[in-house]
Amino acid sequence: MTASRTQVGIIGAGPSGLLLSQLLDLGGVDSVVLERRSRDYVLARVRAGVLEQGVVEILRAAGVGARLDREGLVHRGVAITAGEERYHIDFAAHGASLTVYGQTELTKDLVEAREARGSTLVYEAEDLAIEGVDGKQPRLHYHKGGAEHVLECDFVAGCDGFHGVSRKSIPASVLKTHERVYPFGWLGVLADVPPVSPELVYASHESGFALCSMRSATRSRCYVQCSLDDTVEQWSDARFWDELCARLPAEVARGLRSAPSIEKSIAPLRSFVAEPLRHGRLLLAGDAAHIVPPTGAKGLNLAVRDVDQLAAALIAHYREHSDALLDGYSATALRRIWKAERFSAWLTSVLHLFPGRSSFDRRMQLAELDQLASSAAARAAFVESYTGAAPL
């Protein structure tokens, strides 16, 4: 067995774990990231792509904003459509903006920054087991290359996503979870076609939800709501583009171009929150702590804000010998998380086709959109939640 030691043991090299390691490093706190997948796998994942302004500022402060500032697409509005109706919601009137920048690119920037600073990122760390978080010296046991390793640390950061081990190491008598599972999924396609519109288009249609997003001026990321029983094999590229076109207003669909999918996947939708986010020396952040349906584009933004808060708390522990921020981490983060959960669940309920919905339910959805179209106050509240203009 090989033993090593660090101040913070971080489980997971997704955006949460990588950014936490970077922020701690900049604050003079040592960490080691233990990731069960390979470096190539981590770098290849296609995920979210919309960053709140406050999140962009956190990433700049972390030293990973240069390419984001060069290549990110700044958006000052969004379109929501229902059938042939199109509502434009202007962010600039509220002094807000969003930046479209693929999570894949952010992960590359974070890995590059961590490697440039000589950080310890352990890939293919298997069978990770957490021990001693109730005491002062937690230990992380794992296997790599057939050998057994143990990492001793002061704190464990559970950044291992929804399916990780960290949340499951909190005793059932302590952990409370809150969940809503939606009766549909999103089929996502990445393709080298110009975006159908300069701004994102969220479409609510009698056949189901659709979303036209992008990664650059030449690469689109689009989604259609699908059944949870569907498989990727049942969705040819032609079927996907035809269905996306059918769910958009004609004036938008005219601009739609199709191309072979570079990536195609189906994701279920879930709202999920674990409480508390701290148990002894274990602290949860990102998808390990919460899941939002992607409708509100909050997943990555919540993860970055969790990690920014957690890094400040851990740095204060070591540099100021103060645990006030650590003691307040869970309550403060949960208030932000529940606000994002509320908005994401609301927007999902407004835009999607729910099996068995009544004509009254559909009219309620259309009335919510009409409220956005007719009320400046409703639009201001939407922009605040969607862009994170007033920190959640």
Annotated catalytic residues are: 75, 202, 294, 298, 386
Which listed residue (10, 36, 101, 214) binds ligand APR by CB under 6 A? Answer: 36
Beta carbon nearer to ligand APR, 304 or 353:
304
**Shortest distance, position 85 Cβ to ligand APR, whole Å:** 29
Name residues contacting ligand PHB, limited to 295-314 (CB under 6 A): 295, 297
Over the window 124 to 143, marking each residue x when it contacts ligand APR by CB under 6 A and - when it does not, the resulting string is -x--x---------------
- Residue 140 binds: one of ligand APR, ligand PHB, none (C-beta under 5 to 8 A by kind): none
Name residues contacting ligand APR, limited to 91-120 (CB under 6 A): 103
Which listed residue (104, 169, 204, 213) binds ligand PHB by CB under 6 A? Answer: 213
- Residue 11 binds: one of ligand PHB, ligand APR, none (C-beta under 5 to 8 A by kind): ligand APR
Name residue, tokens 């959109």. Answer: 369
Instruction: Confirm or reject binding of residue 75 to ligand PHB (CB under 6 A).
Output: no
Name residues contacting ligand PHB, limited to 41-70 (CB under 6 A): 48-50
Give the separation between CA 304 and CA 324, rounded to whole angstroms: 21
Give the separation between CA 4 and CA 118, rounded to whole angstroms: 16
Sign of the CA dihedral with 57 first, then 65, 51, and 380 last: positive
Which listed residue (56, 190, 303, 392) binds ligand APR by CB under 6 A? Answer: 303
Q: Kindly indicate which of the ranges 31-39, 175-183, 314-322, 360-368 contains the residues binding ligand APR, using the contact rule CB under 6 A.
A: 31-39
Instruction: Confirm or reject binding of residue 35 to ligand APR (CB under 6 A).
Output: yes
Q: Kindly indicate which of the ranges 19-27, 150-158, 294-302, 353-361 contains the residues binding ligand PHB, using the contact rule CB under 6 A.
A: 294-302
Q: Kindly indicate which of the ranges 1-9, 143-151, 188-196, 298-306 contains the residues binding ligand APR, using the contact rule CB under 6 A.
A: 298-306
Residues that bind ligand APR (CB under 6 A): 11-17, 34-37, 42, 47-48, 103, 125, 128, 159-161, 164-165, 286-287, 299-300, 303
Q: Which residues bind ligand PHB (CB under 6 A)?
A: 48-50, 200, 211, 213, 221, 294-295, 297
